Structure 1
């Protein structure tokens, strides 16, 4: 699908549908929705990770790494992973909600164009973690659903785990917990019933240049490396969906 078609779909659906804080009514549907929103975050971060060399190429100006390009990639990869085609959002009841996430990811990249396309500058700071954080912030403003990266080794203060997240991170770190298995629970938050889900993330080879060894050395961002090894628990994607 051409990029301009994707933009038209996003605008049309999000304009025609008032998302607000509406979420599916049943707990089972909310669990499925949380899982699929997490998949959208993972897909978007994957696009950013694969294109770091392009983003940080100091010799090029306009790179073509636009919000439309990212939205196109996310929709296509999400379709391959889930069989849900967001170019036809009416086929699933959560279509407008999922497109709100795609739109949030698109807006983050569109806003970063002056930095991404600046010649003479190598590292641009638009890394997958920053992309996910900013996309989650925009998505929350659109929907009232919180999506957050968190870790015991958090760097950004907003990624600090709350009590629930710290408890689940300890669960994920327990060798008795099946690797890769998410955790969800209905609970109360700020006096309201919510579904909370966390999906564990593990250090990949691409993570180690910033988070690996030597522990304590400064990485390209200026932060201290954590000394992770491939396969170590890196943290989790945390999501909070208000329930009716």
Structure 2
């Protein structure tokens, strides 16, 4: 009997019923962009994933892309970069696909499952940038183990990122911010870029706001930038 995968995802996979156009995008466009996580110990062939060659600008990962606004904006601004987005919430995936269809970007690939499955299957030192933006804060103490920002996750990201690669974190939750600082900003593999133009109190110019931030934001957003040590 096939071993059942340990549950790591919590929360909804679907919201309200999708419109016909959204379902059509899931049925037609998603299969062309979806990546498949190979069985262990095989690794993802990134050159094949992006059409026969590694993107000259490197590969970036966004964990939990929501409606895909930030992901697709980065793809538009950086056509030489290959972007992989992970999002299990299918309503958000459908909205992301609509942005992809509207803009015509061809450098985005998607996983509609747990990002940790992807991270286990990526080759070491394969990422030039990674984003974890406004993850679910799981505010109750008994749920803190569900938070994506954990030492083990950061350890794996450190293995995946090339020296000098940038890790970007954001939260609007006052309880998650000290957690991120404690776990990420003190991690031995990363330097926290907390001074000058990278100061955490200001949004970097190449970090667009999303509708979530504009309409549903819980508090003042904090933007953390870290660099993978050489």
Tell me, yes or no, whether TM beats 0.5: no
Rg comparison, structure with higher value: 1
- What is the TM-score when the length of structure 1 is the normalising length? 0.35
Which one has a larger percent strand, Structure 1 or Structure 2? 2
Bigger relative CO (Cα 8 Å, ≥ 6 apart): 1
Which one has a larger percent helix, Structure 1 or Structure 2? 1
